[in-house]
């Protein structure tokens, strides 16, 4: 399980004007909810938050939120960004509790060079870059490793073919294609073995200022 710490400040003032002023002062407005908790508005330092998400998988890292004397274990559920400025507008955290399963998206990391690429001239097509899984907070993996070394031309891997860590349940359909080795075609772009950046999980949340 990957984890990180972040300081936050609970707040009572809400509204667009308040949120705008917070951003001008280098803070990001946000909210924490979940586990029977009434939604609580908070702020986090913009620079600290951006530094944090630059080094962790945002959707699958447990964030230990320091709320000024109390600590809440949470997952980042949504990061709202300005449509054209390099500015984070709002962040949502969901509290997680030991013993309660959570649903989240976990990055896939492909390892090895497929037989169909190194010997048969094929191209790796990564259909899925993340899996939707259920796990206890203590068992959330940093990523799911998928070894594709033995994959031949024209062959594919499906969700049902994956070997998962103990205690992990996949929510995605078992028949979904994870990756396939396609025949090379003129003009086709090569597909990198590096996984794409995981999309931040978007979950339905309580209304708050934006």
Q: Is pLDDT at 59 greater than 90 in this prediction?
A: no
170 near 143, Cβ under 8 Å? Answer: no
Domain 3-95 has CATH 2.40.50.140: no
- 192 pLDDT more than 70: no
Given this model, what pLDDT does residue 208 score? 56
Q: What is the pTM of this model?
A: 0.73
- DSSP result, 34-83: ETTEEEEEEEEEHHHHHHHHTTS-GGG-EEEEE-SS-EEEEEEEEEEE-S
CA geometry: angle at 113 spanning 192 and 109, to 5°? Answer: 60
3-state secondary structure of 111: strand
Q: Which CATH architecture has domain 102-183?
A: Beta Complex (2.170)
Give the whole-angstrom CA distance, residue 79 versus residue 66: 19
Residue 106 has pLDDT above 50, yes or no: yes
pLDDT confidence of 24, banded at 50, 70, 90?
A: very high
Domain ranges of the chain: 3-95, 102-183
Same topology, domains 3-95 and 102-183? Answer is no
């Amino acid at each position: 399980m990957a984890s990180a710490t972040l300081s936050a400040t609970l707040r009572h003032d809400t509204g667009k004007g308040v949120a705008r002023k917070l951003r001008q002062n280098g803070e990001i407005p946000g909210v924490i909810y979940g586990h029977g908790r009434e939604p609580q508005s908070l702020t986090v330092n913009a620079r600290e938050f951006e530094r944090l998400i630059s080094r962790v998988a945002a959707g699958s890292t447990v964030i230990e939120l320091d709320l000024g004397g109390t600590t809440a274990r949470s997952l980042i559920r949504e990061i709202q960004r300005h449509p054209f400025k390099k500015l984070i507008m709002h962040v949502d955290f969901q509290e997680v509790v030991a013993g309660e399963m959570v649903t989240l998206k976990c990055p896939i990391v492909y390892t090895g060079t497929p037989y169909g690429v190194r010997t048969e001239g094929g191209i790796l097509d990564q259909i899925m870059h993340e899996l939707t899984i259920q796990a206890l907070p203590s068992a959330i993996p940093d990523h799911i490793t998928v070894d594709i070394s033995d994959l031949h031309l024209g062959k594919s891997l499906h969700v049902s073919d994956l070997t998962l860590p103990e205690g992990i349940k996949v929510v995605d359909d078992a028949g979904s294609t994870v990756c396939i080795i396609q025949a090379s075609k003129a003009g086709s772009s090569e597909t990198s073995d590096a996984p794409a950046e995981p999309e931040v999980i978007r979950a339905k949340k309580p209304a708050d200022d934006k």
